[in-house]
Structure 1
Amino acid sequence: MIAVVGGQAIGWMWVGPALVVVGLLIIGYATVNLARRGRKSPRMGAGSAAGRILDERYARGEIDEQDYRQRRSMLP
């Protein structure tokens, strides 16, 4: 049973603080994820933009296998 004092239900008094805690947890989670993304090093390699472009050029036949392997080996 919910007690009513001055027209307000006392049983709902926990909702406000709970929403604040949930909001703080969401903000903290977002902050941690953004910080982790910012620390990623911009290294070249198979997943880099240069590597993807090289893969695409090889797939389209713009460069041959020898040229592809030589350029791929130059990526760190």
Structure 2
Amino acid sequence: MTPKIKVGLHVAGFAAALALGAVIGHATAAQPQMAAALDALQGARSHLVAANNDKGGHRGKAIRAVDDAIAETRAGIRYAGY
């Protein structure tokens, strides 16, 4: 592969990454409540992970529930068509 082709592929990849970031940023910006919910869920997950002990299995269940909520919130943001 020639150096020009390599450079072209790198530039194309970088442009694609920027475009994807813009789309994700627009989707989040257009849905401030969903973005805020996602931030809160991620914060809650961090607190649960940092908590001591498993609390009879409830901490682990709570982490899994928050993981599910994060996934559903992200799916909702994607569903909006942005």
Larger Rg: 1
Please tell me the TM-score bracket, short chain as reference.
0.3 to 0.5
Greater share of residues in helix: 2
TM-score, reference length from structure 2: 0.37
- Taking CA–CA contacts closer than 8 Å with sequence separation of 6 or more, which of the two structures ends up with the larger relative contact order? 2
